[in-house]
Chain A
């Protein structure tokens, strides 16, 4: 019998599938446990690709560590990662796949607030436990989600007074034009006014703005003592370049809630990033043993990993908080794990001790303030065990467990 090309392809396809599938078959035959699936939704391509990479790398590291130590509840853990390619539509689509097709025990993921708000209802509807590990504007009040990243009360509250003390009382806010930037600018305004300062103007920028010439002139016309930035993404890094090129870097200070979260100090020239202030839940430069061990493990596993920021560290800690809760609950059942987390579950991670707050489903964690020096963050201040006070002021899931909305801070003018 002559073998046609088509038949040959069909045969090889079948046999290679069989080959791939065989370990699972053997395992099933031996009665070994099915793996526990952990879902991950992170952008690895597109404008947010550089942001998602270290987050996924952290998850891979954590899962490998866990499996090397014997897995969870005697079962191996399997990571199911979908690359959402910086597209909100893919977030919704893959969220449904994770919940319905893969039937994962937990999902770690979502980067922008927009992506979180796209997938949060999906996981609510399909009863899937969800961890959001990115720092964000705060205020999400929903018993079906755990937010482990920092919120403004933990970081912006420290950053704004520090920057004002250093540079002066008059601030100019520039922020990205979506929910994160809009809400964060309100927090900046609140903390600035509470510390006796004033906001000269607040400007928002669509994410594809690349020419900041007129804005830079506007800022100069307003004569602020400092600029507070919540600019987001690769296009917006152009601001720091044009700001430095105009010779303003040395004249007006910049404090940012987003700068350096991804790779800005690495991408920009030393002169363009020098002296920028930032406050986050973690910096790669932290010298605690837990931090250096974590950074060393990531670097040895992933040679090309970009800067390891709070995003990566909180993802790692978010995963382990879930692991600890599963161990305590003795099950991956969503309700049982949620209850275990609500007992004040804590984990000692790279950033220090992280504790889940029952009232808000956010995390009490350490915060740090740092300044860019020669393309590296130099940590200036440590704030131990900061509770998520912003969300706590508006959200109480103990008394009102069925709450399901995102509160926005109410800023009183003066």
Chain B
């Protein structure tokens, strides 16, 4: 019973981590068809922002939930204005540009902060389930991931901005004819995607190794999750995260961590062979 509870917690934690890792990417890729190879670096910038503002004396919750998304969101807007907006519709060029951007950000952070950063410990401590111990922070991570999903859903589904943004993504010319400025919507959407990534980076900071190249460990999983999720941003991310988080954690616990990673990638390959359009290409069609 204790074991079942702790495994369930690990699975939820694995799913929550994948949701956090990929939601920002899903917004940018899913809505704008921009392949952002600097996504891992957005996460890294979020983590660095949390680490440095916390070490400077800021409350850790304010740092990760407010400052990190604001900072990375602002960087995202600057990136969109400076680079991405010239490349809409040119997928390969965008990939090249964002890949270059990711190398630039890594180089910049390494130059400024060096390879060593003082991390922040996870707050809140731990609790026991029978013989097992787990951290309260893993529950916080799950809650934040869930809250983030709900918030993005509410914004896209029930606000005027969400409606306008979805309309612009579907048909920018028509939106433009109706008096909406697509470039502004693109800018805002990219900024929000970056901000979500920044928040995710901040939330992951206390349980990660903080190094300039940390994004590389995340980006493959984020892309696999988003691509396997398919066209629907939220339903797709949630479905793919659930599937891969479950498989990865169960395989890791039941066999070895190596096989846990292998199982995740094999299931992604099989899934994309069976459903080339991703999970939401077949199921939950037309959902957000």
Contact = CB atoms under 8 A, between A and B. Distances in A.
A268 B118 CA distance: 6
B13 A241 contact: no
B209 A267 contact: yes
Interface in A214-232: 214-218, 220-221, 223
B122 to A, nearest CB: 4
Contact of B258 (A53, A177, A268): A177
A40 to B, nearest CB: 18
A95 B218 CA distance: 31
Contacts of A251: 133
Contact of B253 (A205, A214, A236, A248): A214
Interface in B4-18: 6-7, 9-10, 13-14, 17
Contact of A306 (B116, B217, B249): B116
A287 interface: no
B143 interface: no
Interface stretch (A43-51, A290-298, A386-394): A43-51
A203 interface: yes
B119 A208 contact: no
Contacts of A216: 134
A246 B3 contact: no
A304 B117 contact: no
B257 A245 contact: no
Contacts of B257: 177, 203-206, 209, 214-215
Give chain A's interface residue range (CB within 8 Å of chain B). 35 or more
Interface in A20-42: none
A268 B116 CA distance: 10
B266 interface: no
A271 interface: yes
A208 B134 CA distance: 22
Contact of A266 (B14, B116, B122, B252): B116
A71 interface: no
Contacts of B211: 47, 50, 234-235
A242 B121 contact: no
Nearest to B6: A217
Nearest to B134: A246
B12 to A, nearest CB: 10
A386 B249 CA distance: 43
Contacts of A46: 213
Given A46-B213, A268-B119, A213 B249 contact: yes
A297 to B, nearest CB: 20
Contact of A304 (B6, B114, B210, B216): B114
Interface residues of B, number: 53
Interface string A176-191: 0100000000000000
B15 to A, nearest CB: 11
A217 B214 contact: no
Contacts of B213: 46-47, 49, 86, 234
Contact of A248 (B118, B121, B133, B256): B133
Contacts of A86: 213
Contacts of A211: 13-14, 17, 248
A97 interface: no
- Chain B CB within 10 A, most for which of A86, A208, A211, A223: A211
Contacts of B9: 213
B258 A266 contact: no
A208 B260 CA distance: 12
B119 A241 contact: yes
Interface string A228-257: 000001111110011011111001000000
A272 B134 CA distance: 15
B85 to A, nearest CB: 30
A406 interface: no
A86 B217 CA distance: 14
Interface stretch (B68-76, B124-132, B279-287): B124-132
A269 interface: yes
A385 interface: no
A210 interface: yes
Interface in A156-210: 177, 203-206, 208-210
B10 A210 contact: no
B258 A267 contact: no
A293 B107 CA distance: 33
Given A241-B206, A247-B125, A271-B121, 16 more contacts: A177-B257, A205-B257, A205-B258, A206-B261, A208-B217, A211-B13, A213-B13, A213-B138, A214-B10, A214-B257, A234-B213, A234-B214, A238-B207, A263-B115, A267-B119, A269-B120
6 contacts: A47-B211, A47-B216, A209-B261, A210-B217, A215-B252, A246-B135
The 8 closest A-B pairs by CB, nearest first: A247-B126, A50-B115, A245-B135, A234-B211, A237-B209, A245-B122, A269-B121, A234-B209
Interface of B: 3, 6-7, 9-10, 13-14, 17, 107, 110, 114-122, 125-128, 131-135, 137-138, 204, 206-214, 216-218, 220, 248-249, 252-253, 256-258, 260-261
